[in-house]
Every structure is written in C-alpha cells, then in structure tokens.
Chains A and B, each alone.
Chain A
Amino acid sequence: MLDHCSISHKGGIVLWSRSFTPDASHLAASSASPVNSLIREALIEGRTTEEKYEKDGYAVKWTFVNDLELIFVVAYQRILQLTYVDDLLGALKALFVKMFQPFLATFVASLHAINSGKTTVVEAASAFSFADAFDGWDKMFDKLLRSLEDKAAQDRKLRLRPVVRAPVEESSSPPSEELETLPTQSSDAPQDEQQIARNVQALKNRLRGRGGKRGGKGGGRADPGSGRESVPGSDSESAVAKRKVTAKAQRKWGDEAPTETDMASLDFSADSAGGTGASHDLQALVDEASLGTRTRDGMYEVKDWEFSKDEDSAIANALKPADAKTTPTLGALGSLFSRLTGSKVLTEQDLKPVLDGMKQHLMKKNVAMEIADKVCEGVGESLVGKKVGGFQTTNAAVRLALSTSLTRILTPKTSTDLLLSIRTKLSSPLASTQQRMPYSITFVGVNGVGKSTNLSKVCFWLIQNGLRVLIAACDTFRSGAVEQLRVHVRNLSMLGVNGATDSKGRVELFERGYGKDAAGIAREAIAFAKDNDFDVVLIDTAGRMQDNEPLMRALAKLVAVNTPDKIIFVGEALVGNEAVDQLTKFDRALRDFSSASGAGKGRGIDGMLVTKWDTVDDKVGAALSMTYVTGQPIIFVGCGQTYTDLRQLRVANVVQAILAD
C-alpha cells in the first residue's frame, strides 16, 4: 500500500527509511525521489501548509517535529485513497520521539556545533551507531503499520457489510410476531413481502449493531462505490445491483445518519430481490452458509484487532489523538520566570495572536489574502515547538521567521540573468547546415498592465547591450497597438548606442496589420529575424482576461507553435487578491492548452515583469503574491515612463518594505 516512508533530519540526514517496492527503493536512492522533490518544490518554497504534495503519480504527506528538527514523510501511489496515512504520521511521530528522545537530542546537538560553543568531537562509531540506535524501530513500525492497515481494512469491510449481509438475513429470517408492529408502506403484494423482510432485517441489525458498534462509523460512510467493491459471493447479487441502478438513485444513499436502523434502509438488496422474483431468493438460500461464516469472520477480526491493541499499549497510545498533552503550567509568574531563566517553548496559543497580526499586516501591504494566510500558517508551523531563547519575545521570533520565509519565497531559484541566457543561446555551437535561431521572448498579461510599454523598455536595454532586436506586433486586436509599437521603434532607433548617434537597423518592427492570427504573425516574425540576422525577437501579445477561454487557447497556440525561449507574464504592482487568480489561470491555461495542441509537456510562465512599481510606495505585496503562486522569479520591475525606468528586483529591499510598519 505504502511506497516509501522515511524519518529524517531537516539538515538532510535520513535517520530511517523504508521502501516497500523495488521500484520505490530504486527511486528513493536517486535525486528525483519523492522526498527530494517534496523538499525542493514544496517545503523550501514555503508551501508547508498544503495537505499533500503530488509528484509523478506519488502522493506525499509529511509532518514536522520542530524541537528535534525531524521530518516524517510518507509516499504512496496517488490513485490509492489511503485514509490512515494521517494517523500513521501522527503515530510515527509520537512513537519515534518517545522511543529515541535522548539519542535524537544528542544527534541534533552534534549538528549544531557552532551554536553550542563547545567543540566536542563526536567519538564516532561508539556514540553514533545509527543502526544500533534504532534497533527496535523496525519491529515497532511493522506492528504499527499492520494495525493501521487492519483497521482500514476493517472499516472498508464494515462499509460493505450491509450489502453482503442482506441475503443471509433475509433468507434466515423466520416469520415473527414483530411483523405487525412494523409499518408497511407499499401497496402491491409481492412488494409488501419484501418490505416486511427488510424491516425484520432492520430490527435484526439493530440487535446485532450492539455487537458491531465499531462498524457503525465506517458503515455510515457508505458511498455508492462500496457496492462495486463487494465480495462476489453470489453472482445474483451483483447482477441485481447492476440492474437496479435506478432504484439506487431513488433511495437517498448516504443521506442517512449513521445509526444502526439507517444501515438497514441503506440496504436494498432485499428490495431488489423482490423485483427480480423468487429464483434469487433461492440462490440467496444456497449462499447462506458461506456468507454466514464470512460475517462471523468479520466479527472475529474486530475482536482480534482489539485484542492486539490491548496487547501493545504503546501503539495504541500513539494512535490516540494527542489532545490530552496539557503540560502543567505555573501561571503567569512561572512563565515569566522560565522566560527569564532560560528558554520558552512556543505553543500554538502563543503564536496565534501574533500570526493574526502579521497576517493583517501583510494584507495591508497588498499581499493577496490567500497568500498571506498560507505564508503565516507556514511560519507558524515552523515555529510551534521551538524554543525561544532568553529575552526574545514571541513577536520578535515570528518576525524573524517571517522575514526568513519571505526572503526564501522571493529569492529566484533559476537564473534571472537574461543577457547571459541570450548570449549562451547565440553562441552555442551549431551544425553548419543549421541557421541560428533568434532568442524569442513573449510578453503576456491582462489588459492595460503595460505590456507594450515595458516591452519597449526591455528592447532599449537589449539595444544598449549591442543586440539587434525585432519587435513582432502580435496584438492584432486593440486599435492603435501597432501604431504604438511603431512610435516606440522610431524613438528607439533615434537613441544613440555606444557612441553611435543613432541605432538605425538595430531595431525593427514586424507587423501584418489587424485582425490576423497572432500565432502566424509570430512565426513569420521569427523566420524573418532568422533570415535577417536579428538576435532577439520580442513578441507583443494582446491583453486578455484570464477567464476568457478562447483567447487563452489562442495564446497557448502562439506559445505551442513558436516555442519562445522565455514567456514573461506582465502584471501590475497595483493588483491585490486578483494576482493569484490571474497568474494561476494564465499558467494553467498555457500548460494545459499548449500540451494539448503540441507534442511534449506544456510550457508555463518563465518569469514575471511587475509594472507600475512607482505607484505603490511600500505596498509591494503583489511581488510576494506573484512569486508565491508561480515559484518563478521577477525578472524586471517597471517603475516609470521613460526607457531607462527598468529595474531589477532586490529581495532584501522588498522584504524590508513588506515588513516595515
């Protein structure tokens, strides 16, 4: 069921891990293992609050122990709906920490040689024989996993039980005096009989329900799918189930409260048997014995599991929800004293008001609400259980953690050096028959954010670096778009470069008028640039709303046909909550549609250009929202009306602006 499970230190050392299939163990050893990608793409980028992370068909769940700096990770096939993974993680955490607390503490201390000040060299093999240290753990883990899997299987079986049990009950039910007390609703005679049988069974169920109380929870959650999973004890039953699809729809499945009587009303095999006639009753009679034993089997297993639970109380304790862990408090004076004398362990209650304040603060700085929420939650998660030293207040600790987290989110993970990547492409060795392709950059975004204006600024910068630039006017929709670019090209060609009085021939406009297919124009422009020895093609696209599907498809087609080297999303710094929606939808539309039309996997946004930076003062939250959503860097910032008003983002500055009061 599980594929991989590991317990490791945040510094990267794996303390214990196990793979359950050869494939998984092979993968776990490589750099593309689910754990590695989880850390790289989720944890380091500050997405610690999401429920699970999915990658290459694996679903990965994790949990932290902050004071011991441990990460617990479980990976399993995504298509499996494993309900017990959360329980497993919780139990693992509790058990592991309980069993190995002293060893873990020394281990963590040995990885903080700087902070502790004393430089005691680890006397290696004797003190840190990791294999010996976690000696009993394998057995414990097996036991825990088995008990959880059994429990899950039990739940599933109990969910099926109403369906499976039905024929047995029906066939073995003797005519009883209780019949009179039961209300009969159906009018026609054969239907009536079945109804009675069903009600009898409901009563029986009620009696039996006492025994199988544990099953009540699982059974109540019966979903329509459970019928399909049922053991094919009698083929009549499955045939009936198929035939009676409409009947199912009429009876409100799953609406019922999970009581024993309602379980009976969920059961409609009795009814269906009535619909198909007496022959099925006969078959049900034949099946009686085998089904009966199976039912008894099920009951037995419940007891078995409970027994083993009693036996191993450690696991049972670990499985209990950890709510009763209230540490004795010494009152305000005591906490003050402990604060003064040493360190204080942060709890959720301590952090909540501070984090709420921080969230409000972030939102005031124009960070999208959703993002502010997630960032603060992530900060909280990384702080719970940590010790704050001496006189450091909770507030200061949160502030420090938030600043680290913001820096981490804003720091680009890929190179933002556009010039270098252009030069690399232009100087890469080519076969003699091949002609050099120009470097193409596409600007996309919603209406009126400044795509054309900032395209011309980027163009100016490229010209200053001695590159020949072709501007492709692919905005064939808005009137005046082509003329606007023409004016820019005229202006740019009059500006001097490197001592020359003008830069004629360094920049040209490629246009085909209005109303044409943008993807075609872009392709022609790139071909033109190739023939005429241009270095860079800047493709200006029409602005579009992220919800307009036809236009998004057109954009994806442009991307799929021309495969530009960079797709830059242009967004304004004024945007608030909308930033999240815009970026996710642009990114997803580009990925989905371009992968559908073209071969290979879809292309997303490669970077962002934030415009109108000069209009927001220190409310620069949009930068944070944008980088959080895409994980891509902000390549440029537009901050004025002239060609030179293009800047590079400096992370420290933005973090300072966001945190400033």
Chain B
Amino acid sequence: MSDTTAAPRVAFISTLSPTAQTLTVASLSLAVLCLAILVFFTRRTSRSTGNLLLLVGPPDAGKTAILSTLAYNQTLPTHTSLQSNASAVAFSLTKKPSTVVDIPGHPRIRDQVNEYLADAKAIAFVVDASTVSRNGPVVAEHLHIILNALTSLPPSQALPALLILAHKSDLLKSGSAASATSESLAITRVKTILERELEKRRVSQSGGVGVEGLGEEGERTEMGGLECTGEKGMFSFDAWEGGEVTFLGTSVKVGRITTDEKAEADGLQALREWMEENA
C-alpha cells in the first residue's frame, strides 16, 4: 500500500522538479542575456559617440553647406537651420566614420551645442570670412561662449580640438598681393578680427562688476575662457590657455557635385585632411 502511494509521489516530484529547474535556469539565462545586451548597447553607444565633429558658428556662416558637402558629396542650397543635423561621414577609409553635427547658429537655439559637447572630438567654429569685418562683435560673442564652454569642461574629459574655419574664402578678393592665396588671406583676416574683438571682451570683463544672476547664490555667472599666458594677458589664439587652435581656410560652391576620386577641386580638402589626421 505504502509502495503504491510512494511511487506516484516520487513520480510527481520528479516531474515537478525538472520544470522548476528549467524555469529557474531559463529566467536566469534570460536575465543574463538582457544584461549582456544592455552592456553591449551602452558600450556601443559610448564608443560610437566621442567622435563627433561639431560645426558651430554664427548664422549664415555655411555650416549646413559644409555638412551637406561632407555627407552627400554635393553642396545643396540651404537656409537658416531650425534644428541640428547629424550625419555620418567617413574621412578616411581605414578608420571608423565620424559623425558631423551641424548646430544652428541663431542666438536663441545655439545653446544646443552643450548637448553634444561631452562627446565631441573636435569643434569647428565656422566663420564667414567675407562678412566677419562687419559683424565681428557678434561672431566674437559666439566664439566667446564656445571658448567658455570648452574651458569649463570637467578635467576628466579629454578636451576637444578647436578648429576655426575661415569659410567662404573664395568670396574674398585677394587684392594686390597675388602671392597670398585666398585661403591664407581669409585666415589672417578672421584671426586678426577675432583676436581684436575677443581682447575687447576680455578687457571689459576684467575689473568690471557684473550684475548678479537671479536665483541660487554662488553660481558662476560671468563668462571666462579668455585667459592667456604671456605678457599683460593680451588675448591671442597662440597664447590661449584652453589649448591649441587650428585655423583652416575653406570654401564650397552651391550646386556643385563632386565626382568621386576627384576631391582635389573641393574647397574642403584642408578640413578633410585635418580630420583624417586628428579624428
């Protein structure tokens, strides 16, 4: 009698326990799989970011045109951007493609740059070389914001390289000095004007008493980022404490389509080469 009752019980347990076991194993493996996928994705995203090239600068400088030239190999007509664009661009055949982000330059939405700054590998500040002499103060204000953002990055993060593009260099008339190319002319002009305007901003801030910001006390309100080594602290890009600044002259022509393997005629060659070396 007892045998007959015991046998079914054993059978019952033996049928039950494998199901419980498989359930546990299955749930465990599922959890591990989820974790693995999660880890994989976070690592992947963290790796894929960190190689951004940010295009910043005042409106109408030609940021979107540069982006379209890099991404589609053709310069499309553009107007003022309402939102940022991000495209993957391969600068060299050997390395992973980097992502070029074009951030609108309108003062009301240019703060979007802060979202991308943490993952930036390089920042290209695009200046319209043909109009910079007219709206120097506005350009300098924008550059000041970028410089300030760069210097106030946490020290743990690698500093993005700063690149200043003297864009639309083809629009400059290279006057009497025929020896100087329009690119180098554009670079000198942009550099001189920006240094002069930034020096003005530095002088006006040093020794001035700012107005406190509204809200929490002790928050940093005044903009820094213009500190320079050297005598008297005069601002110059060579002596800027935030790191090295590279100047490049570039240009694009709207409507031109680059046929592949003939990028020589492209006005962005300098930028491509720089990106190939540094990114």
Contacts and interface: CB of A to CB of B under 8 A. Distances in A.
B86 A113 contact: yes
A420 B48 contact: no
A117 interface: yes
Given A12-B104, A39-B79, A648 B214 contact: yes
A420 B73 contact: no
B201 to A, nearest CB: 6
Interface stretch (A121-129, A349-357, A488-496): A121-129
A40 B76 contact: no
Interface stretch (B16-24, B95-103, B186-194, B239-247): B95-103
A646 interface: yes
B90 to A, nearest CB: 5
Interface stretch (A94-102, A152-160, A312-320, A406-414): A406-414
A122 B88 contact: yes
Contacts of A71: 82
A77 to B, nearest CB: 20
Nearest to A108: B85
B170 interface: no
B227 interface: no
Interface stretch (B29-37, B106-114, B228-236): B106-114
A111 B85 contact: yes
Contact of B79 (A36, A119, A646, A649): A36
Interface residues of A, number: 66
A114 B48 CA distance: 9
Contact size range, B = 35 or more
B64 interface: yes
A423 B199 CA distance: 12
B79 A33 contact: yes
B80 to A, nearest CB: 4
Given A413-B108, A465-B209, A653-B215, A124 B260 contact: yes
A461 B209 contact: yes
B77 interface: yes
A56 to B, nearest CB: 16
A119 B97 contact: yes
A130 B68 CA distance: 11
Contacts of A128: 72, 74
B133 to A, nearest CB: 15
A532 interface: no
B268 to A, nearest CB: 13
B181 interface: no
A280 to B, nearest CB: 57
A454 B137 CA distance: 28
A231 interface: no
A647 B72 contact: no
Contacts of B59: 31, 40
A653 B213 CA distance: 10
A124 B73 CA distance: 6
Q: A11, A15, A464 — which one has the most chain B CB atoms within 10 A of its CB?
A: A11
A44 interface: yes
A113 B213 contact: no
A290 interface: no
A192 B97 CA distance: 89
Contact of A464 (B60, B77, B96, B209): B209
Interface in A14-45: 14-15, 17, 29, 31, 33, 35-36, 39-40, 43-45
Q: Report, nearest first, the 3 A-B pairs whose CB atoms are least far apart.
A: A12-B81, A124-B73, A11-B85
B151 interface: no
Nearest to B211: A648
Given A39-B80, A125-B257, A45 B108 contact: yes
A27 B96 CA distance: 41
A119 B50 CA distance: 13
Interface in B133-160: 137-138, 141
Contact of B137 (A119, A424, A654): A424
B74 A125 contact: yes
Contacts of B213: 647-648, 650
15 contacts: A6-B79, A10-B83, A12-B78, A14-B76, A36-B60, A44-B80, A71-B82, A117-B48, A119-B88, A124-B74, A130-B76, A423-B204, A648-B210, A653-B214, A653-B215
